[in-house]
C-alpha cells in the first residue's frame, strides 16, 4: 500500500470521527434513519404484498408483478431518501449555528418531498437499467453494471445536499453534484468504504448473537437472541447512515465555501477537491 493510499485512508477515518463529533451534538437525529428504514420496509411489504395477491400465480402477468415490485421499491426508496434528507437538513442547521430537533430536521426535508421523489425515480431507474444489463450480458454485464453503479454513486454523492439546500430537481442535483466533485481524488469513496467496514465490524456482535441464539434450538432463546441481534444491527445501520449524511453535508458546505462545523479540519475536506495538477505533483 502506497503512502498516498495510507494517507487517504487515514483522512477518511478522521472524517468519520469528525462526523461523529457533529452527530453527537444532536443524537436524536440517529432516530430518523431507524424510522425511515422501518417505514420503507412496511411500504415495500404492503405494496409488494398487494401486488402478489392481485397477480397470483398467473405466469402471463409476470410483467405486471415486475412493475408492482418496481413501484414498491420506488416508494421505499423515496421514504429512505426523505430520512436522509432530514438528517442532512438537521446537520446543516447545526453548522449554521442552530440547534436542530427532529421537528426542524423533518421540516427541512418536507419542503423538498417532490424533489426527493424525482431523485427516488432517477435512482430506481438507474438501478433497474443496471439490473437488466447485469442479467442480459452475463459476466460482461456484471462488470458494466458494477462500474456503472460505482460511477453513479460517486457522481451523485452530493446530490441530496444539493436538492435539500438549493431546491433543484433530480437531474440538476446530479449535475451539480458531479460538478462539485469533479477532479476529486476520492476521499468520499474512502470515507464510504471505511464507514461500511466500520459498520460491518460493529454489526458483527449482533450477527453473532442472532446466529448463536438460532443454533441453540430453544424457542425463547431464539426469539430473544434474534430480536436483540436485529435491533443491534438496525442501530448500527442507523448510526452509519446518519454519519454519512453529516459528512455529505460538511463536504457540500465546504465546496460552497459555507461555514462547516469546527470538528472538520479544513485540510481534510480540501483533500476531496484537489485538482488534477495537484494530484500529479
CA angle 73, 78, 82 (to 5 degrees): 150
The pLDDT value recorded for residue 238 is 84
- Where do the domains of the chain lie? 3-279
Tell me how far CA of residue 254 lies from CA of 187, 261, 270, in angstroms. Answer: 13, 10, 8
Among the listed residues 134, 161, 160, 157, the one whose alpha carbon sits nearest the alpha carbon of residue 146 = 134
The pLDDT value recorded for residue 277 is 38
The pLDDT value recorded for residue 279 is 40
Residue by residue, pLDDT tens for the chain (281 residues) are 454 445 555 666 777 788 888 888 888 888 888 888 889 989 999 988 888 787 766 655 677 788 888 999 999 999 999 999 999 999 999 988 888 888 899 888 888 999 999 999 999 999 999 999 988 888 888 899 888 988 888 888 889 999 999 999 999 999 999 888 764 445 566 666 677 777 788 888 888 888 888 887 777 878 888 888 888 888 888 888 888 899 889 888 888 888 787 777 666 666 555 444 344 34
Distance, in Å, from the CA atom of 206 to the CA atom of 234, rounded to the nearest integer, reads 9
Distance, in Å, from the CA atom of 281 to the CA atom of 269, rounded to the nearest integer, reads 19
The pLDDT value recorded for residue 270 is 62
**pLDDT tens digits for range 154-183:** 888 889 999 999 999 999 999 999 888 764
Distance, in Å, from the CA atom of 234 to the CA atom of 37, rounded to the nearest integer, reads 9
Among the listed residues 165, 183, 185, the one whose alpha carbon sits nearest the alpha carbon of residue 256 = 165
The pLDDT value recorded for residue 162 is 95
Distance, in Å, from the CA atom of 258 to the CA atom of 271, rounded to the nearest integer, reads 16
Amino acid at each position: 500500500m502506497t503512502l498516498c493510499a495510507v494517507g487517504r485512508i487515514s483522512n477518511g477515518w478522521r472524517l468519520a470521527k469528525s462526523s461523529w463529533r457533529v452527530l453527537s451534538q444532536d443524537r436524536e437525529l440517529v432516530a430518523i434513519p431507524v424510522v425511515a428504514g422501518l417505514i420503507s420496509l412496511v411500504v415495500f411489504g404492503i405494496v409488494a404484498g398487494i401486488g402478489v395477491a392481485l397477480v397470483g400465480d398467473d405466469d402471463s402477468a409476470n410483467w405486471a408483478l415486475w412493475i408492482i415490485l418496481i413501484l414498491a421499491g420506488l416508494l421505499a426508496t423515496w421514504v429512505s431518501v426523505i430520512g436522509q434528507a432530514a438528517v442532512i437538513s438537521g446537520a446543516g442547521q447545526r453548522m449554521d449555528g442552530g440547534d436542530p430537533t427532529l421537528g426542524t430536521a423533518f421540516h427541512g426535508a418536507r419542503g423538498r418531498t417532490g424533489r426527493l421523489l424525482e431523485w427516488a425515480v432517477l435512482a430506481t431507474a438507474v438501478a433497474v437499467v443496471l439490473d437488466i444489463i447485469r442479467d442480459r450480458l452475463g459476466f460482461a454485464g456484471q462488470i458494466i453494471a458494477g462500474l456503472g453503479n460505482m460511477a453513479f454513486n460517486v457522481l451523485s454523492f452530493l446530490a441530496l445536499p444539493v436538492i435539500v439546500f438549493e431546491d433543484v430537481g433530480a437531474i440538476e442535483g446530479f449535475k451539480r453534484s458531479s460538478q462539485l466533485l469533479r477532479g476529486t481524488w476520492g476521499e468520499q469513496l474512502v470515507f464510504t468504504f471505511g464507514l461500511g467496514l466500520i459498520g460491518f465490524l460493529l454489526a458483527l456482535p449482533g450477527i453473532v448473537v442472532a446466529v448463536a441464539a438460532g443454533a441453540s434450538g430453544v424457542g425463547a432463546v431464539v426469539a430473544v437472541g434474534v430480536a436483540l441481534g436485529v435491533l443491534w444491527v438496525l442501530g448500527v445501520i442507523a448510526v452509519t447512515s446518519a454519519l454519512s449524511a453529516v459528512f455529505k453535508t460538511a463536504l457540500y458546505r465546504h465546496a460552497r465555501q459555507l461555514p462547516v462545523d469546527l470538528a472538520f479540519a479544513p485540510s481534510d475536506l480540501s483533500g476531496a477537491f484537489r485538482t488534477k495538477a495537484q494530484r500529479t505533483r
